[in-house]
């Protein structure tokens, strides 16, 4: 099973949301990382055929997904960002409605809906209206509807947004459980969401794929860009203005900074192992409103 | 498909707006019916002014006593009696004058008004008949037909159109059958246009979210990638819209007609429509016009539904949809008649005018397509069906091709 992106491009007037994105996915979990506006959602919408590419194509096992029509829809599951729901429907009604949309009817639909509501921990509230659900419950309902048809390609757009840490961990585990024999594409800008469950990380910046690989491999590739440095309190503001600080901890004798920089930020800085979050900051510092990680250095 | 239709129907019924507008509409109908009843007035035999249900009952009894065919001789005799027993009498007091009115004019008023309509057609008051020589009033139906011919001559009709109308007019059943028809008159002239405009408004409000609500709340993103999410869902939405519109239509018409029939009675159902609209050229009885009206208006309301669905598939929110569809549907009601016949022909086909059954079956608007002359009711049906089908097709395609941006 392969999902291939061939120079996929999407333009909105003069803005390029996705720029010649090329990649091939096979079974596994793919974590799509990028700052807001990087093009993740646009890419996912194109994967789900709800947005037409300006140019390029997406192929599923060699076939253009647009021309596959309902055959492709049959193997697709999608949880969009800001998952829309019908507030007056109960969870069970919603699942049965979604089942009928996915071509599952009658007893099979009922059994599948019940089983999935059990898996996502909503079986006890299946008769309640969705309007009464918390954000986490709605997201779990969202994932349940996405896997109703046991999809081969599962697309999850920011599934953990707005969830508390406990819900996020629960959600990650759920995705991990559901990901067997599937291509799971998971977009987020919360690095820890994909750090443990993704087989491959894809980093997007300004619509382009800038980096891809296994999390450990990416971290390894970026070794030597993370530094720690203890400075007096009065120098903190200098580093805040001139360096990409990913962590700051005040100690009794000053401040301990964790800096991401391609260059040693100060002679006394000590190189430390890089993690995925550091790597993310290394590439997206500017988008996140910080200083470029390529420029910080004290003379 | 059945399951999809069930859930799409459920979505419409579950919305508060649906229930609010439906309840308001039924309340309006009952309130309007109350007004129709309460403004009825009729003098009793003792000279007391009766109102409401008492007036309706008294009038019904008096007019029903005159039920039967209105042949020319009978009409001439009624005119003669009016002039001799009422107009040409000397009254000693106002009381005598009023008593004479109650006895000699009030029960015959409707028939006398028909006579006035034929022999003094350019006047508005019954008193204009006072001086008309009754000896000349023995050719009621010929005179009426000649008036139709004269009206056509003064209008901008083609020869084929004139011929068509005159031919139809010469085929209407004569003599006209008379009975008490106040209930049907109230229904066709006053209640129908209000009833169906309310229905059109309700349809706009109930149907407007059908596609645009999905865009607004973001469910389009989960519907469209689903296997049945495009074509089948669009069809299910259309069918659900049709089911809801039809149910609401049936209940509303049943309540509306039922309340009027219960208060005014159903007498006069088999009278000729010309008793209500003297110069109508349709050979129909009142019950047939009512049924045609209900049928045509059903198609018109469905076309309003189709138009609303089209807007809903284009607009991003139900609010925009409901504003545009309501304006487009209701506004033509206030369009004045134009000097331009083409504009009038066009306006007559718009839902706000098309649901005015009494006007539609009284109108001399005909449409020529090549050698074919089509009367207004058929043209309304034709346009509503063609446009409705086209709008639904565009709405379906628009939804299926919707891009989530």
What's the confidence (pLDDT) of residue B285?
Answer: 93
* Most confident among A269-273, A293-297, B49-53 (mean pLDDT): B49-53
B9/A contact by beta carbon, under 8 A: no
Distances (CA, A) of B45 to A10, B92, B95, B104, B325: 85, 19, 12, 11, 52
Question: Could you read off the pLDDT of A124-172 as tens digits, one per residue?
Answer: 898 999 999 988 888 889 888 998 988 999 999 888 776 778 877 877 7
Indicate the pairing of strand B366-369 with strand B372-375: antiparallel
Provide DSSP, A170-185.
HHHHHHHHHTTTSEEE
From B232, which residue of chain A is nearest by alpha-carbon distance? A101
Residue in B239, B223, B240, B354 with CA at minimum distance from that of residue B9: B240
Question: Could you read off the pLDDT of A170-189 as tens digits, one per residue?
Answer: 777 878 877 778 899 998 87
Chain A: closest CA distance from residue B170 (Å): 58
Residues in chain B within 8 Å Cβ distance of A101: 4, 223, 226-229, 233
Interface test with B, best of A100, A104, A106, A150 (most B CBs within 10 A): A100
Tokens 């997406």 -> residue: A58
Chain A: closest CA distance from residue B326 (Å): 25
Nearest neighbour of B222 by CB, restricted to A52, A84, A96: A84
Provide DSSP, A24-86.
EE-SEEEEEE--TTSSHHHHHHHHTTSS--SEEEEEETTEEHHHHTHHHHHTEEEE-SS----
Dist CA B355 CA B376 (whole Å): 12
The first and second tokens of residue B230, run together, are 């495009």
Query: Please, which residues have CB within 8 angstroms of residue B391's CB and are 6 or more apart in sequence?
Result: B303, B306, B307, B309, B310
What does DSSP assign to residue B338? P
The first and second tokens of residue A222, run together, are 């970026």
Does the beta-carbon distance from B226 to A12 stay under 8 Å? no
Distances (CA, A) of A161 to A35, A202, B267: 13, 19, 69
From A99, which residue of chain B is nearest by alpha-carbon distance? B226
Does the beta-carbon distance from A45 to B220 stay under 8 Å? no
Nearest neighbour of B229 by CB, restricted to A83, A84, A101: A101
A110/B contact by beta carbon, under 8 A: no
Nearest neighbour of A78 by CB, restricted to B222, B233, B403: B222
A25/B contact by beta carbon, under 8 A: no
Dist CA B307 CA B381 (whole Å): 15
Contact predicate B192/B357, CB 8 Å: yes
Dist CA A3 CA A153 (whole Å): 9
Nearest neighbour of B233 by CB, restricted to A45, A101, A105: A101
Give bridge partners of residue A57 from the DSSP assignment. Answer: A6
Mapping DSSP to helix (H, G, I), strand (E, B) and coil, where does residue B281 land?
coil
Domain positions in chain B are 2-38+180-400, 68-178
Exposed / middle / buried, residue A180 (Cβ in 10 Å: 0-12, 13-18, 19+):
exposed
Does the beta-carbon distance from A84 to B217 stay under 8 Å? yes
Residues in chain B within 8 Å Cβ distance of A146: 222
Query: Please, which residues have CB within 8 angstroms of residue B358's CB and are 6 or more apart in sequence?
Result: B188, B189, B192, B193, B276, B277
What's the confidence (pLDDT) of residue A297?
Answer: 47
% pLDDT > 90, chain A:
27
Query: Please, which residues have CB within 8 angstroms of residue B188's CB and are 6 or more apart in sequence?
Result: B276, B286, B289, B290, B293, B357, B358
Residue in B362, B360, B390, B391 with CA at minimum distance from that of residue B378: B360
Dist CA B304 CA B319 (whole Å): 16
Residues in chain B within 8 Å Cβ distance of A45: 221, 404-405
Mapping DSSP to helix (H, G, I), strand (E, B) and coil, where does residue B332 land?
helix
Does the beta-carbon distance from B224 to A50 stay under 8 Å? yes
The per-type count for chain A, helices as H runs and strands as E runs, is: 11, 14
A118/B contact by beta carbon, under 8 A: no
B222/A contact by beta carbon, under 8 A: yes
Interface test with B, best of A11, A43, A58, A101 (most B CBs within 10 A): A101
Dist CA B274 CA B115 (whole Å): 12
A145/B contact by beta carbon, under 8 A: yes
A100/B contact by beta carbon, under 8 A: yes
What's the confidence (pLDDT) of residue B20?
Answer: 92
A116/B contact by beta carbon, under 8 A: no
Dist CA B219 CA A89 (whole Å): 13
Does the beta-carbon distance from B227 to A98 stay under 8 Å? no
Does the beta-carbon distance from B14 to A88 stay under 8 Å? yes
C-alpha A55: how far from chain center? 24
The first and second tokens of residue A37, run together, are 């506006």
Render the burial of A73-96: b for 16+ CB within 10 Å, e for the rest.
bbbbbbbbbebbbbebbbbbbbbb
What's the confidence (pLDDT) of residue B9?
Answer: 93
Query: What is the Cα Rg of chain A in Å?
Result: 22
What's the confidence (pLDDT) of residue A77?
Answer: 92
Dist CA B65 CA B62 (whole Å): 5
Nearest neighbour of A45 by CB, restricted to B7, B214, B404: B404
B405/A contact by beta carbon, under 8 A: yes
Chain A: closest CA distance from residue B392 (Å): 21
Nearest neighbour of B221 by CB, restricted to A84, A97, A101: A84
Dist CA A149 CA A113 (whole Å): 10
Residue in B225, B220, B264 with CA at minimum distance from that of residue B399: B220
From B399, which residue of chain A is nearest by alpha-carbon distance? A50
Interface test with A, best of B227, B233, B405 (most A CBs within 10 A): B227
From B234, which residue of chain A is nearest by alpha-carbon distance? A101
Q: Which residue has the higher pLDDT, A285 or A2?
A: A2
Average the pLDDT over A186-204 and give the result.
Answer: 83
Interface test with A, best of B226, B316, B400 (most A CBs within 10 A): B226
Give bridge partners of residue A77 from the DSSP assignment. Answer: A154
What's the confidence (pLDDT) of residue B100?
Answer: 86
Dist CA A116 CA A99 (whole Å): 11
ipTM of the complex: 0.81
A238/B contact by beta carbon, under 8 A: no
Does the beta-carbon distance from B227 to A80 stay under 8 Å? no
pTM listed for this prediction: 0.85
Residues in chain B within 8 Å Cβ distance of A78: 221-222, 225
Dist CA B269 CA B253 (whole Å): 17
Dist CA A251 CA A236 (whole Å): 12
Dist CA B136 CA B132 (whole Å): 8
What's the confidence (pLDDT) of residue A99?
Answer: 94
A-B CB pairs within 8 A amount to 86
Residues in chain B within 8 Å Cβ distance of A149: 227
Dist CA A17 CA A211 (whole Å): 17
Angle between helices B109-119 and B140-154 (to 10 degrees): 50
C-alpha A270: how far from chain center? 31
User: Which residues 154-193 of A are in CB contact (within 8 Å) with B?
Assistant: none
Does the beta-carbon distance from A88 to B15 stay under 8 Å? yes
Q: Does the pLDDT of residue A197 top 90, yes or no?
A: no
Does the beta-carbon distance from B14 to A89 stay under 8 Å? yes
**Segments of chain B with pLDDT less than 50:** none
Residues in chain B within 8 Å Cβ distance of A52: 403
Dist CA A252 CA A111 (whole Å): 61
Does the beta-carbon distance from B225 to A76 stay under 8 Å? yes
Q: What is the dihedral of CA B201, B203, B207, B212, to 10 degrees?
A: -20
């Amino acid at each position: 099973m392969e999902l291939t992106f061939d120079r996929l491009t999407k333009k909105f007037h003069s803005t390029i949301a996705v720029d010649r994105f090329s990649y091939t996915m096979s079974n596994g979990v793919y974590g799509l990382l990028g700052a807001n506006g990087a093009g993740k959602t646009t890419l996912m919408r194109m994967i789900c055929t709800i947005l037409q590419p300006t140019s390029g194509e997406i192929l599923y096992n060699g076939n253009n997904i647009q021309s596959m029509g309902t055959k492709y829809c049959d193997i697709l599951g999608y949880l969009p960002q800001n998952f829309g729901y019908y507030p007056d429907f109960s969870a069970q009604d919603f699942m049965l409605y979604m089942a009928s949309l996915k071509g599952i009817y009658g007893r099979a639909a009922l059994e599948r809906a019940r089983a999935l509501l059990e898996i996502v921990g909503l079986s006890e509230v299946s008769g309640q209206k969705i309007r009464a659900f918390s954000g986490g419950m709605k997201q779990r309902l969202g994932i349940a509807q996405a896997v109703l048809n046991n999809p081969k390609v599962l697309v999850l757009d920011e599934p953990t947004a707005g969830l508390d840490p406990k819900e996020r961990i629960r959600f990650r585990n759920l995705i991990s459980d559901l990901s067997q024999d599937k291509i799971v594409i998971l977009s987020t800008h919360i690095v820890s969401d994909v750090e443990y469950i993704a087989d491959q990380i894809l980093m997007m910046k300004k619509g382009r794929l800038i980096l891809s690989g296994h999390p450990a491999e990416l971290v390894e590739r970026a070794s030597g860009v993370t530094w720690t440095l203890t400075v007096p309190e009065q120098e903190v503001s200098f580093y805040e203005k001139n360096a990409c600080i990913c962590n700051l901890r005040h100690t009794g004798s000053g401040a301990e900074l964790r800096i991401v920089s391609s260059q040693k930020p100060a002679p006394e800085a000590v190189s430390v192992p890089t993690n995925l979050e550091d790597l993310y900051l290394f590439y997206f510092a500017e988008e996140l409103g910080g200083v470029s990680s390529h420029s910080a250095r004290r003379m | 498909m059945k399951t999809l239709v069930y859930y799409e129907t459920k979505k419409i019924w579950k919305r508060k707006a649906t229930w609010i507008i439906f309840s308001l509409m039924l309340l309006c109908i009952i309130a309007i019916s109350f007004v129709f009843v309460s403004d009825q007035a009729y003098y009793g035999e003792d000279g007391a002014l009766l109102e409401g249900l008492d007036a309706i009952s008294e009038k019904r009894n008096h007019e029903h006593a005159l039920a039967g065919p209105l042949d020319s001789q009978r009409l001439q005799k009624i005119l003669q009696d009016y002039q001799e027993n009422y107009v040409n009498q000397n009254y000693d007091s106002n009381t005598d004058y009023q008593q004479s009115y109650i006895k000699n004019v009030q029960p015959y008023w409707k028939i006398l008004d028909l006579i006035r309509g034929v022999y003094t057609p350019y006047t508005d008051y019954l008193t204009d008949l006072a001086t008309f020589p009754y000896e000349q009033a023995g050719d009621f139906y010929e005179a009426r037909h000649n008036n139709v011919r004269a009206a056509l001559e003064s209008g901008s009709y083609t020869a084929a159109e004139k011929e068509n109308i005159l031919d139809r007019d010469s085929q209407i059943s004569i003599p006209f059958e008379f009975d008490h028809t106040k209930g049907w008159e109230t229904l066709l002239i006053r209640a129908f246009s209000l009833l169906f405009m309310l229905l059109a408004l309700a349809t706009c409000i109930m149907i407007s979210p059908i596609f645009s609500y999905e865009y607004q709340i973001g469910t389009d993103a989960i519907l469209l990638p689903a296997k049945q999410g495009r074509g089948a869902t669009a069809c299910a939405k259309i069918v659900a819209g049709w089911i809801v519109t039809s149910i609401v239509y049936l209940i509303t018409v049943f309540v509306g007609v039922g309340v009027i029939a219960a208060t005014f009675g159903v007498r006069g159902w088999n009278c000729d429509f010309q008793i209500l609209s003297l110069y109508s050229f349709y050979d129909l009885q009142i019950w047939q016009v009512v049924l045609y009206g209900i049928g045509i208006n059903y198609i018109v309301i469905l076309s309003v539904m189709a138009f609303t669905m089209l807007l809903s598939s284009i607009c991003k929110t139900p609010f925009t949809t409901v504003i545009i569809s309501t304006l487009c549907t209701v506004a033509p009601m206030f369009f004045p008649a134009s000097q331009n016949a083409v504009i009038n022909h066009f306006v007559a086909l718009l839902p706000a005018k098309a649901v005015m059954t009494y006007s539609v079956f009284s109108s001399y608007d005909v449409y020529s397509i090549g050698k074919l002359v089509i009367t207004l009711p058929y043209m309304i049906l034709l346009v509503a069906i063609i446009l409705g089908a086209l709008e639904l097709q565009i709405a379906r395609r628009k939804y299926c091709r919707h891009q989530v941006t």
